[in-house]
């Protein structure tokens, strides 16, 4: 079985390119073969792309090339409609949402610490404000928020009680 590494050759014979990828899944040249196949799948109709994309994934099994293939398919999933592609898109959205919520929570807590201090008339200098806003640990920010209710000097937020 030839190693099909040229995207145009892969596009001319997608079945051969898919079998090449599966056959050479353990070869050092596997990434180039998989990239050629991924490019070729963008040149065929969606149904054909799904069939050969899934066939390739199944054929690669647990080889290191299988992860390379999944990574390649994750690059532009809008074209691919397979179950794997849909699952990866959903996981990516969920991960992004979780990260966004966590980031929003820390930003909100940091802003709350600064606002409580300012509303209490405690001067908050640039260094203190920057340190508070750089913190990404919600437990620390919660502690600083509790301390913000009673400290008279903003820097006292950072000292242990």
How confident is the model over 97-149, as pLDDT tens digits?
666 666 777 888 898 899 989 989 999 999 999 999 999 888 999 899 889 98
DSSP-derived secondary structure letter, 152: S
What letters, b where the CB count within 10 A reaches 16 and e where it falls short, cover 68-98? bbeebbeeebeebebebbeebeeeeeeeeee
User: Rounded to whole angstroms, how far apart are CA atoms 52 and 102?
Assistant: 38
Closest by CA to 63, choosing from 28, 35, 11, 98, is 28
DSSP-derived secondary structure letter, 155: G
**What pTM was computed for the model?**
0.47
How confident is the model over 37-81, as pLDDT tens digits?
888 888 888 777 877 888 888 888 888 888 888 888 775 545 555
């Amino acid at each position: 079985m030839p190693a099909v590494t040229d995207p145009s050759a892969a596009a001319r014979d997608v079945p051969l390119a898919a079998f090449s990828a599966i056959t050479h899944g353990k070869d050092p040249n596997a990434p180039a073969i998989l990239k050629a196949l991924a490019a070729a799948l963008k040149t065929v109709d969606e149904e054909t792309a799904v069939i050969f994309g899934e066939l390739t994934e199944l054929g690669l099994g647990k080889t290191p090339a299988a992860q390379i293939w999944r990574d390649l398919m994750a690059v532009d999933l809008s074209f691919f409609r397979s179950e794997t592609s849909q699952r990866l898109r959903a996981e990516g959205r969920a991960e992004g949402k979780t990260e966004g919520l966590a980031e929003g929570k820390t930003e909100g807590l940091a802003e709350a610490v600064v606002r409580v201090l300012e509303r209490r008339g405690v001067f908050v200098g640039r260094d203190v404000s920057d340190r508070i806003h750089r913190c990404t640990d919600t437990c620390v920010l919660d502690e600083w928020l509790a301390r913000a209710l009673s400290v008279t000097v903003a820097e006292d937020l950072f000292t242990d009680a």
